[in-house]
Amino acid sequence: MSNPVADAARKHPPPEGHVYTYGTAGFRTKADVLDSVLTRVGLIAALRSRKLGGRYVGVMITASHNPPQDNGVKLVEPMGDMLEESWEAISTEMANQTSPEAVSEYYQCVAEEQKIDLSKPANVIVARDTRASGARLLGCLVDGLKAAGAEYRDFGFLTTPQLHYMVRCFNTADTPDAYGVPTEAGYYEKFSAAFKKAMGSNKPNGGLTVDCANGVGGPKLNELIKYLHVTETGLEISVVNDNVVKPEALNVDCGADYVKTNQRAPPTSKTGPGDRCCSLDGDADRVVYYFKDDQNVFRLLDGDRIATLVASFFGDLVRTSGLADQIKIGVVQTAYANGAATDYVEKNLRLPVTCTPTGVKYLHHAAQKLDIGVYFEANGHGTAIFSHSTLNAIKNYKPKSPSEAENLEILRACIDLINQAVGDALSDFLLVEVVLAHKRWGPQEWLATYTDLPNRLLKVLVSDRTIFKTTDAERKLTSPEGVQGQIDKEVQKFRQGRSFARASGTEDAVRVYAEAATKAEAEDLARKVAEIVKAAGGK
């Protein structure tokens, strides 16, 4: 009897002894050990779509900010959210089946357990970033999708947020919540139109340089620029590091991760003091801003800064459009948020802050509980989302004055400008440009809102990171025993000291974060905590 699922699995056997995990960002590792995973993800995507009554699910082939030789794959839920947690475990188990027969059996077993009718339609939307291995991995994925009898649409190269956008558009088409036209042009039209409206009569103060990490964001931004019409908006964008012909240049000495980690501009940067710059990551779902100050010193405006800027702007807009008593704003951060940013939100903006574990899905879920939830990871991953009732309140509100009407229009345009499916570097930087233009701020005024506490992030290689277990949104270790006590003891010795250690979800390492009153103290504290971690389980 023919068994297409087993046949597809046979065509792409896994390398011996490799164990895969669906982590914070899907499966992500060296591209040359991923063929079998992609085929199995094809099977899972078909199962997931069938489980959801044939709604479209997405598959994105990318390894974001990782080096060029890596790749990865993640699944996207119908509204553009990250994959549901119980299906992460199912995906992990599928990826680790070794024989073709075992793959086929597990496929049947999931169908049975989840009460999935395998004869029903499955719909999957696929895209990839510009990595050299992408085309081959797409082939492996398609073999899985075909074996499972799924209908699929391949969008070729897209940024990760564009893929999320497509998925949400397909699933909301012909409903009152229709998100947009599910084409690339539809994406550019929606966001550029919203940008123009949100800018109103305001003009940006000088141009913006965007570093695209030599990734998929480059060609997509060049496309978006055609829709933004500089003569209308005044926003002059210089695109740099947009070379996708050389995939080996991806994320190398450029991009959001380079800038955030090294706290410096890409070495190729040629901008002058006060010039606004931002960097995207390899799949354009992260963005950080920066500039050189009068003394030629590099100044970073990271995800925490974007969150505070956006939250304060929405706070103003909600108040000036007359909606303050109906809509409450909150900010969601992780433990990596700078203590000064948390303080600023609570004390100056007077908004509540929620802290969640690392990974966008946790922030997103926490933000969903708020009327307007602004969430950003310090590394620039994030967005703002509006609850259903908030959207209705904003839609139905009858302004009581011309000024309320004007501000309400801006607020409405901002809703369209934000990719609510997921954090989107292109839409995020357009939003930042809107806020800066409205506030008539340059990067210096933005930076002056608060002063970051000096901080240091270190990576400790350990032989088994799974022994490092945490609680309290990853701020405290519960295992190995006694380690947290040692960390607490160190922290106490430092002025304004704060430090925590947690196992990375994307790399085989434990990350140590520390902040303190001075740079030297932050470095010292980080080093001390790293030593404690090393002693507890280092390689």
Ligand X SMILES: CC(=O)N[C@H]1[C@@H](OP(=O)(O)O)O[C@H](CO)[C@@H](O)[C@@H]1O
Give the residue closest to Mg ion by C-beta. 64
Residues 304-363 binding ligand X (CB under 6 A) are 336, 358-360
Q: Which span sits near ligand X by CB under 6 A: 187-195, 224-232, 377-385, 519-527? A: 377-385
Nearer to Mg ion, 28 or 50 (CB): 28
First-to-last C-alpha distance (Å) of the chain: 50
Residues 18-37 binding ligand X (CB under 6 A) are 24-25
CB 177 within 8 A of CB 238: no
Interacting residue with Mg ion among 81, 275, 283, 515 (CB under 5 A): 283
Establish if 474 lies at the interface with Mg ion (CB under 5 A). no
Question: How many whole angstroms separate alpha carbon 130 and alpha carbon 62?
Answer: 8
Residues 51-80 binding ligand X (CB under 6 A) are 64
Question: How many whole angstroms separate alpha carbon 439 and alpha carbon 501?
Answer: 38
Nearer to ligand X, 207 or 505 (CB): 505
Q: Please, what is the minimum distance in Å from the beta carbon of residue 467 to ligand X?
A: 16
Question: How many whole angstroms separate alpha carbon 160 and alpha carbon 216?
Answer: 9
Closest CA to 331 of 346, 348, 318, 316: 346
Establish if 64 lies at the interface with Mg ion (CB under 5 A). yes
Number of other residues whose CB lies within 10 A of the CB of residue 170: 18
CB 512 within 8 A of CB 457: yes
Q: Which span sits near ligand X by CB under 6 A: 78-86, 185-193, 365-373, 503-511? A: 503-511
Q: Please, what is the minimum distance in Å from the beta carbon of residue 466 to ligand X?
A: 13
Interacting residue with ligand X among 511, 514, 516, 525 (CB under 6 A): 511
CB 294 within 8 A of CB 274: yes
Helix 217-228 to helix 184-199 angle, to the nearest 10 degrees?
50
Question: How many whole angstroms separate alpha carbon 204 and alpha carbon 214?
Answer: 26
Interacting residue with ligand X among 74, 292, 381, 475 (CB under 6 A): 381
In 67-131, alpha helices (H): 85-95, 100-113
Write the DSSP string, 12-32.
SPPPTT-----BBTBEEEEGG
Residues 163-222 binding ligand X (CB under 6 A) are none
Establish if 211 lies at the interface with Mg ion (CB under 5 A). no
Q: Which span sits near Mg ion by CB under 5 A: 60-68, 136-144, 237-245, 350-358? A: 60-68
Establish if 281 lies at the interface with Mg ion (CB under 5 A). yes
Positions in the binding site for ligand X (CB under 6 A): 24-25, 64, 336, 358-360, 377, 379, 381, 504-507, 511
Positions in the binding site for Mg ion (CB under 5 A): 64, 281, 283, 285-286
